[in-house]
Chains A and B, each alone.
Chain A
């Protein structure tokens, strides 16, 4: 169980590993860990391609394949995600599970694969979880009210480059949920803060700035995420390397929204 943190070794030839995978039929049923052997694994395979190979064999044997999500397989859609040996998206920094390659592992490794675990992310099947709580956090206010058609010329309001760059850094979040999965408190702070920060530093985001953070934080609580105790594990596993600065910004804006009374745009009673 040590190999995965060691530097990548491109060994010639194929590898065999032992997988311990969480299998759970559906939301209601109880799950358990099941052990499989992944054979003939090329170091050039991605982690998900390795699972594809295991699944093809399972189907050939008449068993149900391991359910896991993926779509883009390029590290941008945020669909994929699983705990690989206790680290969200696996051992490689700023890398999603779909972009993790088997050369990060060694022949004979044991790999434990578990779904994201959080009450706000109920398991649907095997490694597939329901992350709609993230959508509801955005629905609660994670937007700028800009109805189609009424926008001024795009260059009418210059945005200082540092602000634009900071906004981009925050907006790079792919909504994968690794932050929640890794956080010892199952907190959604990094995700929520990234969105808050993205819109809070742009001039277009000012009118609703404080109402937005207030509503989004309230929704985060409703969804039963944990609280943030500033562990920083979220940022360490975030495939887009979203920094903890975003959480600091959320904290500041939330305080302003609720205490110092900067309640611009806040129409909540």
Chain B
């Protein structure tokens, strides 16, 4: 089957196409976050269970996949998604900025939500967060006492520092807002939202965002207040 790349290239060239790519890559991110936060909650089960979960992630897929192969596959998908997501975001931002060169003296925002209006700045915060986060818990560069392989230790040691936990909580709020608009927006961008299911989708997005913020903050906060140690 000969697949022509031309239509896809044309698709990408327009803002509607780029936006669809953002939605798909955003959806991949959402799926990742569901898994990631769910996984993180294993921390509450204690050091052993959590560390073996971390190990499990590296061996999963055997024997079809060699050690860490599946993990790398996921990482690549994530990396490509993030890069596409960000590239589209930046290009679309430039397009919109150019589309209104002179600003209004007075401009109100009827109909828009605070979440929708902070997508871009929220995105930048998330990007910074991801870099710092990786530097903390994956590469260990910023970590006070990084131990390769002892994820439980890394987590507990890190979040014992109040300013780190504070930073995480703030970042999670940013992600929460991004998701509140993003999850709803995704459906609209992919053409699945209608006036009839709008209420449901708005609700799903809001609940998802709130649950996400609570679940993700649970770990750092629990460490800080000593539930996990």
> Which residues of the partner chain B approach A248 to less than 8 Å between Cβ atoms?
188, 191-194
Interface flags for A58-73 (1: CB within 8 Å of B; 0: not) read 0000000000000000
Say which size band chain A's interface belongs to: 35 or more
Residues of A within 8 Å of B113, CB to CB, are 231-232
Binary interface encoding of chain A residues 202-227 relative to chain B, with 1 for a CB under 8 A from any of its CBs, else 0? 00000000000010011011001111
Q: In whole angstroms, what is the CA distance A127 to B179 when docked?
A: 39
CB of B106 within 8 A of CB of A252, answer: no
B47 CB contacts on chain A under 8 angstroms: none
Q: How large is the interface on B (under 10, 10 to 19, 20 to 34, 35 or more residues)?
A: 35 or more
How far is it, in angstroms, between the C-alpha of A33 and the C-alpha of B11 when the chains are bound?
Answer: 41
* B185 interfacial by beta-carbon distance below 8 Å: yes
Tell me the smallest distance from the CB of B110 to a CB of chain A, in Å. 4
- The 0/1 profile, CB within 8 Å of A marked 1, for residues 185-226 of chain B is 100111111110000000000000000000000000000000
Chain A's nearest CB lies how many Å from the CB of B116?
5
Query: CB-defined interface of A20-56 with B at 8 Å, one 1/0 digit per residue?
Result: 1000000000000100000000000000000000000
Q: Is the CB of B111 within 8 A of A233?
A: yes
> Which chain A positions have C-beta within 8 A of B85?
none
Report yes or no: B96 in contact with A252, Cβ–Cβ below 8 A.
no
Q: Give A201 Cβ to nearest chain B Cβ, in Å.
A: 13
Contacting residues of chain B (149-206) with chain A, CB-CB under 8 angstroms: 181, 184-185, 188-195
Q: In the complex, which residue of chain B has the Cβ closest to the Cβ of A213?
A: B16
Would you call A251 and B14 a contact (CB within 8 A)?
A: no
- Does A227 lie within 8 Å of B191, measured CB to CB? no
Interface residues of A in 211-269 (CB under 8 A from B): 214, 217-218, 220-221, 224-237, 243-245, 247-255, 258-259, 261, 263, 269
Q: Which residues of B contact A (CB under 8 A)?
A: 6-8, 10-11, 13-20, 92, 95-113, 116-117, 119, 181, 184-185, 188-195
Q: Could you list 20 A-B pairs, sorted by A, with CB under 8 Å?
A: A33-B105, A85-B108, A86-B108, A87-B110, A112-B106, A114-B104, A119-B99, A120-B99, A187-B96, A217-B16, A226-B98, A227-B18, A227-B92, A227-B95, A244-B193, A251-B190, A251-B191, A254-B14, A255-B191, A258-B7
The 7 closest A-B pairs by CB, nearest first: A236-B111, A252-B191, A226-B99, A227-B15, A226-B96, A185-B96, A86-B106
